[in-house]
Amino acid sequence: MPDARLPMPVARSASAAPAPPAIPFYSPDLGEAELRALQATLASRRLAGGAGQTERCHRLLAATLPDSLPLLTQSCTAALEMAALLLGLQPGDEVIMPSWTFCSTANAVLLRGAVPIFADVREDTLNLDAAAVAAAVTPRSRAVICVHYAGVGCDMAALQAVCRQHGLALVEDAAQAVGARWAGQPLGGFGVLGAFSYHASKNVTCGEGGALLVNDPALRDRAEILWEKGTDRLRFQRGEVARYSWQDVGSSFLPSEITAALLAVQLARVEEITEKRLAVWQRYDALLAPLAGNWGLRRPQIPQAAAHNGHIYHLRFPSRALRDHVLARLAAERIGASTHYEPLHLSAAGRRFGRAPGPLPVTEDAGATLLRLPLYGDLPPGEQERVVERLEAALAAIPH
């Protein structure tokens, strides 16, 4: 007799087919080398940050960005906070940024008492529109933070021109842009400062982590001090001073050697990881082209100058209702599709602390209609086909 308190095993029921495996929204690309690096670091007993593994990461970052000073951070959020400190933002200063971004871009500015000013993004890339930036400039404007959405570069020449014209500092929130380029140059290296994310959802990951790229040589010395709790410990390590002491404001921005050990392996694999993701991205694009035509879906548009990194594959639906319907159907099939940002100017904190000088129709449309599909390097082609097939079935089942 089966025990009535226990659920019936699914396999015993003749009619119920086994559920297809869940497809997660993201899945870090980790292998044996990552495991070995973590084991070796634990065995070394050198766990505090700023030692050999951190130096390895810095060397790997400097290999692609030789004119920058790279500093590992605990997150991209922390790197953006460091950037805001280095800009010397004062209460009441204005920083122009997209509303189509994560709240960390705005929080970094708010923590200095400055005001986020939200400008609209372009219809093609969902990246900051240089004309909207120019229209948002006031005598209080100090800086622009651009976001390379989905790892597709912003029009850097246009943004640099606006910033030059108005004497504004340009900072790149390159959270999603690890390994991506614009006009042949790595993203993160265009602004006075650039910030990367190595969060678990990003292409290259150590769970939680980031890096600040200090591209303006005038900010280097201070950046080193802020990074190490406001001390000149790095100068001491280089033998430039006999002892280190408190010099300036700062915080503990650096991650532990465990985090850095994992990241060093991932950074060394960035090209391989990017290639795998691009293959998945391109496959989605080919599979979805006919569907997009039939149902009025907008696929990502990649400008000629952008070498993107396959970070996100997104579709934009004709309406919020249709997007939400498809999202719910995919969720019911355990397919990890996801919307993206709630536009910051519509959020509670954005309304309270920020300002949008003009309407933001493209941002609001993206917030209402965009859907991201599961994407990771090891997503098998058969599973990808299942995602597209279920998406098509959801569209065919639109309630009238």
Ligand X SMILES: Cc1ncc(COP(=O)(O)O)c(C=O)c1O
How many residues would you count in the chain? 400
Find how far residue 25's CA is from the centre of its chain: 15
Instruction: For 123-159, give the DSSP string.
Output: TTT-PBPHHHHHHH--TTEEEEEEE-GGGPPP-HHHH
Which x/- pattern over 110-149 shows residues binding ligand X (rule: CB under 6 A)? Answer: -------------------------------------x--
* Interactions with ligand X, residue window 49-88 (CB under 6 A): 75-77
C-beta of 94 vs 173, nearer to ligand X: 173
Residue with tokens 């097939």: 389
Does the protein bind ligand X through residue 105 (CB under 6 A)? yes
Which span sits near ligand X by CB under 6 A: 23-31, 51-59, 84-92, 173-181? 173-181
Q: Which CA distances in Å does 347 have to 100, 248, 308, 362, 369?
A: 11, 35, 29, 16, 17
Q: Report the alpha-carbon distance of residue 26 to residue 374 in Å, rounded.
A: 6
* Nearest distance in Å: CB 312, ligand X: 10
Smallest gap from Cβ 286 to ligand X, in A, equals 26
Q: Does 197 bind ligand X (CB under 6 A)?
A: yes
- Write down the least CB distance from residue 150 to ligand X, Å: 10
Q: How far is the CB of 354 from ligand X (least distance, A)?
A: 15
Q: Which of 199, 308, 329, 390 binds ligand X (CB under 6 A)?
A: 199
> At its nearest, how many Å lie between ligand X and the CB of residue 380?
25
| The pair of three-digit structure tokens given for residue 51, joined into one six-digit string | 């030692």
CA distance 168 to 160: 9
Task: Quote the CA–CA distance of 257 and 387 in Å, as a whole number.
Answer: 38
Q: Applying CB under 6 A, which of residues 188, 194, 210, 300 lies at the interface with ligand X?
A: 210
Q: Considering beta carbons, is residue 342 or 383 the nearer one to ligand X? A: 342
Among 64, 101, 127, 141, which residue interacts with ligand X (rule: CB under 6 A)? 101
Question: According to the binding rule CB under 6 A, does residue 176 interact with ligand X?
Answer: yes
* Contact flag: residue 173 with ligand X (CB under 6 A): yes
E strand or H helix that includes residue 165: helix 156-166
Asked if 206 touches ligand X (CB under 6 A), the answer is no
Bridge pairing between strands 314-316 and 193-197: unpaired
Element (H, E) at 251: none
Cα dist. 97→121, 169, 344 in Å? 9, 12, 10
Closer residue to ligand X (CB): 102 or 317: 102
Regarding 175 and contact with ligand X (CB under 6 A), the answer is yes
Task: Give the binding-site size for ligand X (rule: CB under 6 A).
Answer: 14
Least Å distance, CB 355 to ligand X, is 20
Local structure of 290: helix, strand or coil: helix
Closest approach of ligand X to the CB of residue 235, in Å:
28
Crossing angle of helices 257-268 and 270-295, in 10° steps, is 70
Q: Does 191 bind ligand X (CB under 6 A)?
A: no
Specify whether the CB–CB gap between 79 and 195 falls below 8 A.
yes
User: Are the C-beta atoms of 121 and 100 separated by less than 8 Å?
Assistant: yes
Does 26 bind ligand X (CB under 6 A)? Our answer is: no
The reply on whether position 254 binds ligand X by CB under 6 A is no
Interface positions with ligand X (CB under 6 A): 75-77, 101-102, 104-105, 147, 173, 175-176, 197, 199, 210
